[in-house]
Structure 1
């Protein structure tokens, strides 16, 4: 039996049929997971791999859309964020010792999914950091039939000067035992609570941005701020390592907002050009959180995601070299 964990459905605004549990990774880090059950005969279960700074509740509306399409959903708070164990004395620091530790979280999540007998087939929807963790997990055998990535962190959007500085500075900080300190230019505060809507890099949708604010104000203890020097160094290492590996041979769609200023879109293009059954779509007039964009963009992308999951056995994706652009209408 899994121990029940707290969850806040009134904040998440997702399906009411949700249960949260505590699980433990092999290194004894306590993690929170949540399962949105489907009351009918589900078409499968979608694993939601969240981005850096996010918590499970933020995926309530996405779980609602998946639920309406016939799917159960299963999400996790990565170590160091949400209600999972924090790794530094400062709870606002986004920190991880090494990126391979996230795979320990994935392994614990799979064991829990098996224990809960979650309906198969399983699918993956990974955003930003979750897409980085998810790509590694699939390469190492995560048993999903198809996957979707949004704004995948397969490269960090840095200028040439920033990149040249980031490697030695972050390495040195970790080497001398200062890896827990904030990366330059970041601090220990919630992004959405300290950034006006007009200045935000996440979405054009004011309703969604207010949704973020409501979650952050309601669940203060689940928020984190900027990444640590150690997290930055490990992210640089992991994205470089992943770039050298072949793509998995499962159906995949990847979406990036044309206005995304957080991830390196060229790295995403390169990956998807090497994905045998993969398709890349650049979404015009969209920022980092493409699934939380204005309604018609969000609805169009969700339709494509559901179509992929519904037809993963016989999907006919266009060649990666012909990656198309999703235009905003109106």
Structure 2
């Protein structure tokens, strides 16, 4: 998607992008980053506005390459943290464990942000989200909290990888674990040394060594971005929210075009749940990958990533064309 000869520095915030803060309805401050519209790259004027939301333990710095590419294609681009992640504080008892009281909190934050962002940006309006972000925006969509013209889900966490047990059983176990101790305590092991990355983490995320190293660079440059395991409270609430997504008829009532980008090689989220969602959405489509892609498809080796970005561009050109 990047034009030949146009390089993108994945380790520098672009000069034309502006980082700032926004306030949730209760006053909690969260980070955002904005690119202005870039009609000169699209050749046909303004393309519209695109809001990107990352996954659990994620931060927008990891996706600067994709955000800049969408900007160069003519989109007015915005990305933001989730409450309690990256540079937007923590909700647990320490600086590494990812905790939330309920996924409804994130849906409410998104609704508040979406209302203001949509009012101040040109259409069409598109939501793109990765992993846990994909879960939250799907919840927001079926709850009527957002109304995008199109939505793209990258490796969405519509089902978590884990024991092959019924969702109700997994939720019951998590509910017990959240009650027998502090729900803010880590649900899984991070590393023997605090803050040290697990040795096999890269093999779960991407085949691209350089792009994986980009994440480590940003964690070192901005230590506040680092996050480790989720809490037992997060796990229990994730299962509870997944049960809402699995309810009969909730996805089937959605009229928004949705592209699901997923890989059968994903070891963090369930590909079968993502593929099923693409079938459940009345205007759902699936861009499917296999062994060539790990979980972070938008940060994969160039030939895989280019295919994913191309599928997204084709989808948006068809279902959310530029407004006259």
Greater relative contact order (Cα < 8 A, sep 6+): 2
Gapped runs of 5+ residues in structure 2? 1-7, 40-44
Say if 1:217 and 1:166 are closer, same or farther in 2 by CA, change over 3 A: farther
1:146 aligns with 2:150: yes
CA distance in 2, matches of 1:216, 1:73: 23
SS in 2 for 1:160: coil
Superposition TM-score, scaled by structure 2 size:
0.86
Q: Is the 8 A contact 2:93 2:184 kept in 1?
A: no
Equivalent residue for 1:272, pick from 278, 297, 303: 278
Say if 1:97 and 1:57 are closer, same or farther in 2 by CA, change over 3 A: same
Gapped runs of 5+ residues in structure 1? 1-8, 315-330
Of the structure 1 ranges 73-82 and 152-161, higher mean CA displacement relative to structure 2 is found in: 152-161
CA distance in 1, matches of 2:132, 2:85: 12
TM-superposition CA deviations, 1:32-90 (whole Å, max 9, x none): 11111124343011110110011121121111110121112111110111111211230
2:239 maps to what in 1?
Answer: 236
Equivalent residue for 2:315, pick from 294, 308, 315: 308
1:95 aligns with 2:99: yes
Instruction: Give the RMSD, CA atoms, in angstroms.
Output: 2.4
Written as runs of structure 1 = structure 2, the 5 A alignment for 1:1-330 is 12-13=11-12, 15-40=14-39, 41-114=45-118, 117-141=120-144, 142-160=146-164, 166-175=170-179, 178-186=182-190, 193-195=197-199, 200-244=203-247, 245-247=250-252, 248-284=254-290, 285-312=292-319
TM-superposition CA deviations, 1:103-128 (whole Å, max 9, x none): 1220232244146x122111011110
Say if 1:186 and 1:232 are closer, same or farther in 2 by CA, change over 3 A: farther
Superposition TM-score, scaled by structure 1 size:
0.84
The aligned length equals 303
Q: Is the 8 A contact 2:167 2:239 kept in 1?
A: no
CA distance in 2, matches of 1:173, 1:76: 31
